[in-house]
Amino acid sequence: MNNMLDIWQSRLQEHIKETRTYMKYMLNDHLVIVLIFFLAGAASWYSKWIRDIPAHFPSFWVMAVLFSL
């Protein structure tokens, strides 16, 4: 049983090691720029949505659910 655990731990370590080598290429690519544009678009959409919320929108309950998470 301990031998199987050792096998899985070594496989996990190898996977993490391999993932780290490729992660720097992903982050050096244009992923960061795409994420910045996505966040800017989401922030713009959210600010427009906040301005146009109807008066009968149950904002109290939405905030209660969000803060309870």
Residue boundaries of the structural domains of the chain = 2-52
Give the position of tokens 């146009």.
52
pLDDT of residue 40: 97
pLDDT of residue 49: 86
Task: Give ∠ CA 60-62-63 in degrees, rounded to 5.
Answer: 65
Dist. CA 29–CA 23, nearest whole Å: 10
Q: Which two tokens stand for residue 40?
A: 């800017």
pLDDT of residue 2: 73
pLDDT of residue 1: 57
Residue spans of the chain under pLDDT 70: 1
Contact 53, 47 (CB under 8 A): no
The alpha helices in the chain, defined as continuous H runs, are 2-28, 31-51, 59-68
